[in-house]
Amino acid sequence: MTTTLAPQEVGHLIGGEWVGSGTAERYNPAHPGELVSVTAVGDASTVEAAVAQPEWSNRTGPARAAVLTRAAELLTVRADRVAVDLVREEGKTLTEATGEVQRAAEVLRFFGAACWRADGETLPSATPFTAVYTRREPLGVVGVITPWNFPIAIPSWKIAPALAAGNTVVAKPAQLTTLSTRRLAECLAEAGLPAGVLNLVHGSGALVGEALVAHPDVAAVSFTGSGPVGRRIHGLASERMARVQLEMGGKNPLVVLDDADPVRAATIAAAGGFGLTGQACTATSRLIVTPRILDAVVEELANIAVRRYLPGDGLDPEAQMGPVVSDGQLTSNLRYLELAKAEGGDVVTGAHAAQGLYQTPAIVTGVTSGHTLAREEVFGPVVAVMAVNDLDEAIAVANDVPFGLSAGVVTNDLRAAHQFAAQIAAGVVKVNRPTSGLDLNVPFGGIKESSTNTYREQGQGALDFYTWTKSVYVGID
């Protein structure tokens, strides 16, 4: 289904004004000839203009809450339109995009409510007649750098807690998906966020992203994206002792034990592996299965892949899985399948589908720990199936990667489920649920190369990253 929507201009948002004319063109991944947006391209001077600290931190909590809550209402009212923008620039299905926009609105609402709560504690003092309390202070100007795969949800779960805590934000969205982030900024501006409290800067990571990370007045940087970029950002931020939070890739395992129902297990695997076109950091990319159930799970997963994950334009109601985000990503996905074959894997299903950026869901059996497909993040609808003998071996294989983001187990054995939760090296553990999909009020993050593992995102814990603790002693005699 093609639409007749005109291409949208996306400028930088600096000091409350949309500035800069666009040169970076983004085409619809479902229709490569359809121009979706034209975005301004900045450099270090753009970042310099955006880093400022207008009055916001001294607004009361309830005043900040009013802005975030109103923005949530505006985004809810506009959800259908914003979801169409999101589908056209990123590619996911309309159902997935609508869910993402609603999630962004809920995140605004959640952190709006958080503004109302007390933000410190009172403590007993060793000195008589002395009251002691703590205050959570905002950091100042914070930088937010986000990827393309959740172009409105991830910016919202970084920007909302930063604003709730009283910070000013300079955000740099991924170049492929600037329009969805603009829609979020529009809601906040119309909800009464003062000019300059949220700024958006666009351009390359090397120029604009690094200028933001290196800026001496940016107190902290929260980044979600790939490992190599995260490592670079960590180096730049740490050099000047700025606070930094990184959430990066995954190689998320789903373990299926012999006692499981194969249909249920395959349904959970498919949702985690093929939902969102596999383009989620928490996507299932390794299916680790014990012997008696192995063939039945693979057969069922192959059936589900064909029946329930038909690729197509996300705006087409028939489409069950959107296109891959870009030509480069599709080439990379298909290259991983070729490599898997060369290394001895068997590609049961999965190929470039006919035309455009469409790929059918891929299942590769016969993968072992030494294979590239068992170790590297693909970031597409590709599930590597690995055979193991028992739970102990499954956990050992699952942990034998440099990542530790999300992990799941499918079993009815309570003891096995608890052993898995205790011994798996991952920040998120799911029992009888897909590895992807998170609640917004629950801490989220990984370990090993998936995360800096210092501060968690989402939930109340997100506010810790954006604040520092001041201890106050008051003599009362």
Nearer to ligand NAD, 374 or 405 (CB): 405
Nearer to ligand NAD, 134 or 175 (CB): 175
CA dihedral (16, 19, 24, 25) in degrees, to 10, reads: 80
Nearer to ligand NAD, 37 or 365 (CB): 37
Q: C-alpha 37: how far from its chain's center?
A: 22
Phi, psi (rounded to 5 degrees) for 65: -60, -40
Contacts of 228 (CB under 8 A, 6+ apart): none
Residue 28 near residue 34 (C-beta atoms within 8 A): yes
Distance between CA atoms of residues 63 and 221, nearest Å = 25
Residue 119 C-beta: closest distance to ligand NAD, Å: 25
Q: Which residue is nearest to ligand NAD (CB)?
A: 205
Buried b (16+ CB within 10 A) or exposed e, 175-184: bbbbbbbbbb
Nearer to ligand NAD, 42 or 312 (CB): 42
- Residue 45: CB atoms within 10 A of its CB come to 10
Sign of the dihedral through C-alpha 120, 104, 308, 371: negative
Binding stretches for ligand NAD (CB under 6 A): 145-149, 172, 174-175, 205-206, 209-210, 213, 224-226, 229, 232-233, 247-250, 281, 377, 379, 405, 450
Contacts of 188 (CB under 8 A, 6+ apart): 67, 68, 71, 159, 163, 198
Q: C-alpha 318: how far from its chain's center?
A: 26
Q: Is 281 a catalytic residue?
A: yes
Residue 96 near residue 118 (C-beta atoms within 8 A): no
Residue 325 near residue 279 (C-beta atoms within 8 A): yes
User: Which stretches within 165-207 are classed as H helix?
Assistant: 178-190
Residue 322 C-beta: closest distance to ligand NAD, Å: 16
Residue from 38, 281, 363, 405 carrying the catalytic annotation: 281
Nearer to ligand NAD, 56 or 465 (CB): 465
Which residues on adjacent β-strands are paired with residue 457?
Answer: 444
Residue 455 C-beta: closest distance to ligand NAD, Å: 13
Distance between CA atoms of residues 237 and 213, nearest Å = 6
Nearer to ligand NAD, 147 or 312 (CB): 147
Residue 365 C-beta: closest distance to ligand NAD, Å: 24
Nearer to ligand NAD, 209 or 314 (CB): 209
Residue 329: name the closest of 381, 406, 404, 273 by CA: 381
Sign of the dihedral through C-alpha 373, 376, 379, 384: positive
Q: Please tell me whether residue 75 adopts helix, strand or coil conformation.
A: helix
Nearer to ligand NAD, 232 or 308 (CB): 232
Residue 14 C-beta: closest distance to ligand NAD, Å: 17
Residue 170 C-beta: closest distance to ligand NAD, Å: 12
State the residue for tokens 């992203």.
209
Nearer to ligand NAD, 78 or 103 (CB): 103
Residue 391 C-beta: closest distance to ligand NAD, Å: 26
Residue 152 C-beta: closest distance to ligand NAD, Å: 13
Buried b (16+ CB within 10 A) or exposed e, 290-310: beebbebbbebbbebbeeebb
- Write out the two tokens for 298: 């693979």
Distance between CA atoms of residues 317 and 231, nearest Å = 40
Residue 266 C-beta: closest distance to ligand NAD, Å: 24
Distance between CA atoms of residues 455 and 162, nearest Å = 13
Just list the catalytic residues.
281
